[in-house]
Amino acid sequence: MLAVECCRSSFGCSSGIAAPSLQGIDWVRLLRFARFHRIEGLVWNRLSPHRGKLPRDAAEDLQAAASEIAANNLRALQECRILLKGFEDAKIPLLFLKGLPLGALAYRNPAIKSSIDIDLLIDPQELLSSAIVLRVYGYRLVAPAESADDELLIRWHRGWKESVWRNDLTRSQIDLHTQTADNARLIPTIDVHSPSQQVEVHDGLSLPTFADEQLFAYLAVHGASSAWFRLKWLADFAGFLSGKTARIGHFYSRSQELGAGRAAGQALLLADELFGTLKKSPDLRAKLKQDAATLRLFEIAWRLLSRGKIEPTERRWGTLPIHSAQLLLLPDLGYKLSEVARQARRLFDRPPG
């Protein structure tokens, strides 16, 4: 609960929050929990004013982790500035997914949000042109294999929503997306040409990302794709909504039109459980709880979120709950059959790493 409080107090609209209670804290457990859920920056953002009350080792570990997150975000900031110009010069439409724009929207300060890679969304028709831009700026293809030719790259993107690129000099990684969901039946109309907004991530630098309606639906589907097993994703989602409580009902209705299905309800119930996101929307909360499949999705994710200590991929059958949950996101049989086929195909066509 201290970790949850640290996340909540970092939301961009938070103010007037009392000092946290630090009595009886198992600091080793908190550090391990924060590291797994990648919220060290949020925890330190909350606890740094009270560092004198923390054990020295815990304070040093949290500060070091938060400093590394800030340094990674600074590198990402420079890379995003370069990439934005490169794609603009090439006249290739581009949106930035999650990352720095979401950090700014959720926390105002994007430096405290942990991010491993830079997610870019392009038009599928611009895939090869985008690959040229990335190679010009020192990126090499990682998944599929670096030796993949253009035909293989195009074929890869028919089955996977992104390819992975790495710059060994800057230590940056890019996930280059040509679609927004693993299954094309989810949020099928949300793409690089969808309504967008410019988000200031640093003085003089704004990055394009989805407009709020599309961003809500996208974040819900993205979290559902991994059954929300990491608290960071849920904190990002709740932080994004923290200053928009009057619009949550509209966001949910719009997400259903956009094809987010039960992922939106799952996300809202989880965010409400930890952060009180639906406190001002009791009718919507009651409506979501009336759907048995949405409740089942909530239960699967809650179990993974609250009990997870290692990556699902690191234990036998660890990803089974995630795969089963994905079958519930849309009610129609066509979606379920396509999802079974997609999951079966991935068993025989996995990217390296």
For the stretch 106-155, pLDDT in tens is 998 899 999 889 999 999 999 999 999 999 999 999 999 888 899 999 99
d(CA 299, CA 125): 39
Report pLDDT digits (tens) over 28-84: 999 999 999 999 999 999 999 999 999 999 999 999 999 999 999 999 999 999 999
Measured between alpha carbons, how far is 14 from 4 in angstroms, rounded to an integer?
13
Chain position carrying tokens 């457990």 = 29
pLDDT in tens, 165-194: 999 999 999 999 999 999 999 999 999 999
Q: Residue 16: pLDDT above 70?
A: no
The pLDDT value recorded for residue 23 is 87
Task: Give me the pLDDT at residue 316, please.
Answer: 66
pLDDT at 353: 39
Query: Does the predicted TM-score (pTM) go above 0.75?
Result: yes
Q: In this predicted structure, what is the pLDDT of residue 180?
A: 97
DSSP β-bridge partners for residue 196: 210
Cβ(178)–Cβ(124) under 8 Å?
A: yes
Look at residue 148 in the predicted model and tell me its pLDDT. 84
Return the higher-pLDDT residue of 312 and 59. 59
pLDDT at 21: 84
Bridge partner list, 167: 172
pLDDT tens readout for residues 230-240: 999 999 999 99
Task: Please state the separation of Cα 249 from the chain's center in Å.
Answer: 21
Which tens digit of pLDDT belongs to each residue from 152-167? 999 999 989 999 999 9
pLDDT value of position 17: 66
Burial status of residue 348 (CB atoms within 10 A of its CB: 0-12, 13-18, 19 or more) = exposed
**pLDDT at residue 285 is higher than 80:** yes
Helix orientation angle between 248-258 and 212-224, rounded to the nearest 10 degrees = 70
More confident position, 151 or 345: 151
> What distance in Å separates the CA atoms of residue 122 and residue 180, rounded to the nearest whole number?
10
pLDDT of 244 above 70 = yes
Mean pLDDT of 259-282: 97
Per-residue model confidence as pLDDT tens digits over 100-119 = 999 999 998 899 999 889 99
**Mean pLDDT for all residues in the chain:** 93
Query: How much of the chain, in percent, has pLDDT values that exceed 90?
Result: 84
Q: Is the pLDDT of residue 96 over 80?
A: yes
Residue 337 reports pLDDT greater than 70: yes
Q: Does the pLDDT of residue 92 top 70, yes or no?
A: yes
Q: Which pLDDT value is given to residue 346? A: 75
Q: How much of the chain exceeds pLDDT 70, in percent?
A: 95
Q: What are phi and psi of 4, to 5 degrees?
A: -65, -45
Spatial contact of 45 and 66, defined as CB atoms under 8 Å apart = yes
**18 confidence band (pLDDT: 50, 70, 90):** confident
